[in-house]
Homo-oligomer: A and B are copies of this chain.
């Protein structure tokens, strides 16, 4: 439902109805809407097997390749989780816990960014005057969901276009030309 409706306007009652149980019964399984959303993201991670998807990136031979593969993985992952992600993002306005949950999730993604940047750093191919931490900040920000949202949903780019652009930008920004 979240996917269909872009994460908007899905109420506890709707979820209950679509599950064929009463609204109250949902609360027997999840203490709050936010917790339900968090559980949904965890479930999605499980079903989509994030770890397996990230494996190629982790085993890449060079930092540059690792960066590329990470972006590809993440870029193809966003469309699959967008509905739930957006719902969590929207819930932030009312619910402090939702903000924390989203924050948490984004920090996990940041770890992937840091790993890629560290790999470049280890190779000695981290461009220019970047410090690993600042570069991580920058890569992390580039890959944030709202950017994907704007390019695809708003501008009509395909995920393929999105991934290609992000790769190009990231290489130009972070990978030393000499490397």
Max count, chain B CB within 10 A of own CB: residue among A138, A168, A169: A138
How many Å lie between the Cα of A134 and that of B134 in the bound state? 28
This protein's copies in its complex: 2
Is A32 part of the contact surface with B, judged by Cβ < 8 Å?
no
How would residues 120 to 155 of chain A score, 1 for a CB under 8 Å from any chain B CB and 0 otherwise? 000000000000001001101110101100110001
- CB pair A140 B150 closer than 8 Å: yes
- CB pair B173 A155 closer than 8 Å: no
How would residues 145 to 179 of chain A score, 1 for a CB under 8 Å from any chain B CB and 0 otherwise? 01100110001010000000100110011000000
Q: Which residue of B lies closest to A145 (CB)?
A: B146
- Seen from chain A, the residues whose Cβ lies within 8 Å of a Cβ on chain B are 8, 90-94, 134, 137-138, 140-142, 144, 146-147, 150-151, 155, 157, 165, 168-169, 172-173
Given A137-B155, A141-B155: 5 more A-B contacts, CB < 8 Å: A90-B93, A138-B151, A138-B165, A140-B150, A144-B147
